Structure 1
Amino acid sequence: MTDPTPDPARARFFILGLVRLSGVVLAFLGISIMAKHWIEPADIIGGAFIVMGAIEVLVVPRILARQWRSPTP
């Protein structure tokens, strides 16, 4: 018999994975913008995408994990 209540840890795990994956995609988009010069100020916009992607991969998951941490009694 399955448990009727969803496990919040499982959902949080998938959210953290999606956040990291979207950060990597954003960084690759920035790299491709800088390499192909799709947009006129490619260095500025591509660099901004790379920085935002790095922040999304390195910082945002830690912030979410700290926010979701259960209080200690």
Structure 2
Amino acid sequence: MTDDLSTPPPVDPEKVARQRFFAIGLFRLSGAFIVMFGFLILMQRFGWVQGTKAKAMGGIFVVVGLFQFIVVPRLLLALFRQRPPQ
């Protein structure tokens, strides 16, 4: 029983590009949902959080969602542009 770890399987660049595109789109979509959820909390549409706590919690959700919508995809792009170590 021998394990041949010296040669990795060939990588399809189109498949990798599709996976990266899907990951970036998923982060943007989830960030948009977090922002919408934060605005619903800010408008006090839920009974479990009201008053000043709703405004603070909604603001936190909006900021986190915007970070995920704007900054995280750019960080992923910078990470994807780096060459893997050889």
Whether TM-score is above 0.5 comes out as yes
Larger Rg: 2
TM-score range normalised by the length of the shorter chain: 0.7 to 0.9
How far apart in 1 are the matches of 2:71 and 2:55?
Answer: 23
The SS at the match of 1:61 is helix
Q: 1:51 & 1:10 partners in 2: Cα distance?
A: 28
For the pair 1:49 / 2:77, whether they are aligned, the reply is: no
1:12-66 alpha-carbon deviations (Å, 9 max, x no partner) = 0011001000000000000001102531300100000000000001100000111
- Alignment partners' CA distance in 2, 1:27 and 1:7: 30
Q: What amino acid is aligned across from residue 81 of structure 2 in structure 1?
A: R
- The question of 1:29 aligning with 2:41 is answered no
Greater helix proportion? 1
**2:3 aligns to what?**
none
> By how many angstroms is 1:68 displaced?
1.0
Structure 1 stretches of 4+ moved >4 Å: none
- Percent identical residues: 37
CA distance in 2 between counterparts of 1:16 and 1:47 reads 24
Q: Give the aligned length.
A: 68
Normalised by the size of structure 1, how large is the TM-score?
0.84
Q: What TM-score results when the alignment is normalised by the length of structure 2?
A: 0.72
Report what 1:18 is aligned to.
26
